[in-house]
């Protein structure tokens, strides 16, 4: 079965510092991968997605992610974090191609220090 | 952009009562909606797939008699937690698909259910 692992439960960075959130997946075929952000008490907002093609994907709010098949990873990065980026971040894989069913990781909570 | 509205955002009920949560796609039609449950500091767990005009498809381990799902129109799906108990307290989130594939999913803001 498909699974997503986010090894870091909580990460704290200083404002202006770079950020990398890790995500590893387990999937037999070419995965459809996603990163979502959830602010407190809010739903999920799609940051970016990877389906095929260029393995470096650009998203909203200055985020990017790189798909590395050899490492089964899809890490999220941002060169300079803003205080407003503090939130919970979820990596997800589509359970079956075209099914719209998502399997989520447990999330990484990001705290940004001034 | 696409908007999905959930109502209520917060609800508190007594044990044994039933609670209905609505999920509406405001500016698009959604033949498929999904209901997730999120425990504190946990991931989202898919509960069921709601299909307009047909019965919902439940994930393994989800009690279909406990969590009733109705998708009566292309813009509305409802989740009813029947005979709620404290262990049903959770954050419930819906998502709606504008087309085929998860790339067109829009999530609601979630509904916090507290059962006393």
Q: Looking at A38-42, A45-49, B65-69, which range is the least confident one?
A: A38-42
- For residue A68, CA distances in Å to A4, A21, A52, A109, B82 come to 14, 14, 12, 23, 44
Query: With contacts defined as CB-CB under 8 Å, which chain B residues touch A102?
Result: 34, 44, 46, 102, 105
Q: Each residue of B45-74: pLDDT tens digit?
A: 999 999 888 899 999 999 999 999 999 888
Q: Each residue of A57-70: pLDDT tens digit?
A: 999 999 999 999 99
Q: Is B105's Cβ below 8 Å from some Cβ in A?
A: yes
The partner residues of B90 in beta bridges, in order of sequence, read B113
State the Cα–Cα distance between residues A23 and B14, nearest whole angstrom.
39
Query: With contacts defined as CB-CB under 8 Å, which chain A residues touch B45?
Result: 104
Using CB atoms, which residue from B44, B49, B101 is nearest to A104? Answer: B44
Please report the pLDDT score of residue A53 as a whole number.
87
Q: Each residue of B74-85: pLDDT tens digit?
A: 899 999 999 999
State the Cα–Cα distance between residues B106 and A35, nearest whole angstrom.
13
Per the omega criterion (within 30 degrees of 0), is the bond before B8 cis? yes
- Do A3 and A26 contact (CB within 8 A), yes or no? yes
Three-class DSSP category at B102 = helix
Instruction: Pick from A30, A47, A90, A100 the residue to mutate for testing the B interface (most B CBs within 10 Å).
Output: A100
Degrees to nearest 5, angle at CA B47 with A111 and B106: 60
Question: Does the structure show a pLDDT above 60 at A47?
Answer: yes
Closest by alpha carbon to A114, among A11, A13, A19, A15? Answer: A15
Cα-only R_g, chain B: 13
Please report the pLDDT score of residue A109 as a whole number.
95
Phi, psi angles (nearest 5°) of residue B39: -85, 155
> How does residue A30 score in pLDDT terms, banded at 50, 70 and 90?
confident
Phi, psi angles (nearest 5°) of residue B104: -115, 25
Q: What is the mean pLDDT of residues A17-27?
A: 95
Task: Check CB contact under 8 Å for A99 and B102.
Answer: yes
Task: Check CB contact under 8 Å for B34 and A101.
Answer: yes
- Ranges B20-34, B76-90, B102-116, most confident: B76-90
Question: Does the structure show a pLDDT above 60 at B101?
Answer: no
> How does residue A96 score in pLDDT terms, banded at 50, 70 and 90?
low
Closest by alpha carbon to A20, among A73, A63, A77? Answer: A77
Phi, psi angles (nearest 5°) of residue A39: -85, 160
């Amino acid at each position: 079965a498909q699974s997503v692992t986010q090894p870091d439960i909580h990460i704290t960075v200083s404002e202006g510092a770079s950020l990398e959130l890790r995500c590893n997946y387990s999937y037999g075929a070419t995965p459809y991968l996603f990163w979502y952000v959830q602010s407190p008490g809010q739903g999920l907002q799609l940051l970016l997605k990877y389906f095929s093609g260029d393995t470096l994907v650009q998203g909203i709010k200055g985020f990017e992610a790189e798909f590395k098949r050899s490492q089964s990873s899809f890490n999220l990065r941002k060169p300079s974090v803003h205080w407003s980026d503090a939130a919970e971040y979820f990596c997800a894989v589509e359970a079956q191609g075209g099914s719209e069913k998502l399997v989520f990781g447990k999330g990484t909570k990001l705290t940004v220090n001034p | 952009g696409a908007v999905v509205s959930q109502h209520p955002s917060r609800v508190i009920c007594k044990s044994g009562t039933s609670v209905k949560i609505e999920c509406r796609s405001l500016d698009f039609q959604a033949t498929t909606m999904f209901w997730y449950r999120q425990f504190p500091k946990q991931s989202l767990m898919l509960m069921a797939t709601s299909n307009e005009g047909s019965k919902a498809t439940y994930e393994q381990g989800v009690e279909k008699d406990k969590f009733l799902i109705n998708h009566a129109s292309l813009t509305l799906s409802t989740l009813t937690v029947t005979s709620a108990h404290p262990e049903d307290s959770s954050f419930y989130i819906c998502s709606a698909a504008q087309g085929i594939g998860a790339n067109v999913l829009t999530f609601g803001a979630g509904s916090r259910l507290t059962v006393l």
